[in-house]
Structure 1
């Protein structure tokens, strides 16, 4: 499969590239030339693109898109909206234009429900929710991942459902593994997964 990873230089993005590159052509979209060697070392084929500009050329001959970009929850509201909302929506619209049907989006627990999350994440969760809604209504073969609080702990390969921030976490490595697991699976099309680390192997959670 020819896969475009948007946000490939992020912590999760790099892990996705490393997991997928042995068995897929992975085009890794990054913002800066100095980020390219690292992605090459992970097996990706880097391309420079900016979510706030035109990046449609990155979709040439692509079969699937993974949107792993994010401003994080701690940037200014303008940047959060530009990347997590408008950037994601542009990526979705471009997929439609190029006939790319498969789209995996890394979102967040409580996307579109900011009242359930901490006040500091209100804008972030609103932006994520609007992006999720755009994908749900896009007609694409989507899968949306809504992980809880992220950690840099060692991966466990196991998850469970989650209902609140702060009471659990999930490793970035396990989020990347979840992406790799859902990507080829038709049974995950038009599904939304909320999860934290738990006791269910990822493949059994799908």
Structure 2
């Protein structure tokens, strides 16, 4: 079992990932800006590190061997926060992980981050930030897993997915819970090393896709 740092642990994916990682028997450090947002999580294997992603948060990695970056600037913020969180904080997390000798880095990215120019959307600045963060991770020398989910929904997870992006735009969706489960299946899993997964609702068992 791993000691996992979840960056963005109070977010909608991050919080579910923390719960699922604890259930799977991992020790978890939850990095949050406001620890009151996860007061409802109680477990002997849970530690909470309160920190700001726009400052030095390298101390949060102490004692961890796996890092999950699931933080995001949020839809209500501007391009400045997109740069500072989705790109620069992700870049810093990678650099801190290199210095700390982290065994695996799991990045929650986005559909479209492989080629932001291919999508005519107001989300392009976000996709550019995600693209640059992904590329920095790929070139870092770290063992990585990159998850690129489609449009996120709050439906219960089904653990039925497909990796290829559907042709129908309305079908390019995935429950947040399934992304959190994909994070858990990626930890301590050599088959997920140096892999990039598209995640969309489909008919393949999620566990078999990742493992």
Which residue is equivalent to 2:208?
204
Matched-pair contact (CA < 8 Å) for 2:163–2:198: yes
Shift of 1:61: 1.1
Shift of 1:71: 1.3
Matched-pair contact (CA < 8 Å) for 1:4–1:59: yes
Matched-pair contact (CA < 8 Å) for 1:114–1:126: yes
Residue 90 (structure 1) aligned with residue 121 (structure 2): no
Shift of 1:77: 0.5
Structure 1: which 5+ runs fail to align? none
Distance 2:106 2:33 in 1: 20
Q: 1:102-150, CA deviations, whole angstroms, 9 ceiling, x for partnerless residues?
A: 1000000111422333421000000000000000001111000000000
Give the 5 Å matches for 1:126-145: 126-145=128-147
Shift of 1:12: 0.5
Which residue is equivalent to 2:5?
4
Q: 1:32-88, CA deviations, whole angstroms, 9 ceiling, x for partnerless residues?
A: 142241343696321101110011110111110000101134521010010000000
Give the 5 Å matches for 1:9-88: 9-22=10-23, 23-40=25-42, 44-88=46-90
Distance 2:6 2:115 in 1: 26
Distance 2:124 2:57 in 1: 28
Structure 2: which 5+ runs fail to align? none
Residue 185 (structure 1) aligned with residue 186 (structure 2): no
Equivalenced residues, count = 206
- Aligned pair partner of 1:174 in 171, 178, 188: 178
Residue 148 (structure 1) aligned with residue 150 (structure 2): yes
Distance 1:71 1:192 in 2: 22
Matched-pair contact (CA < 8 Å) for 2:173–2:201: yes
Matched-pair contact (CA < 8 Å) for 2:179–2:199: no
Distance 2:124 2:8 in 1: 22
The alignment's C-alpha RMSD in Å is 1.7
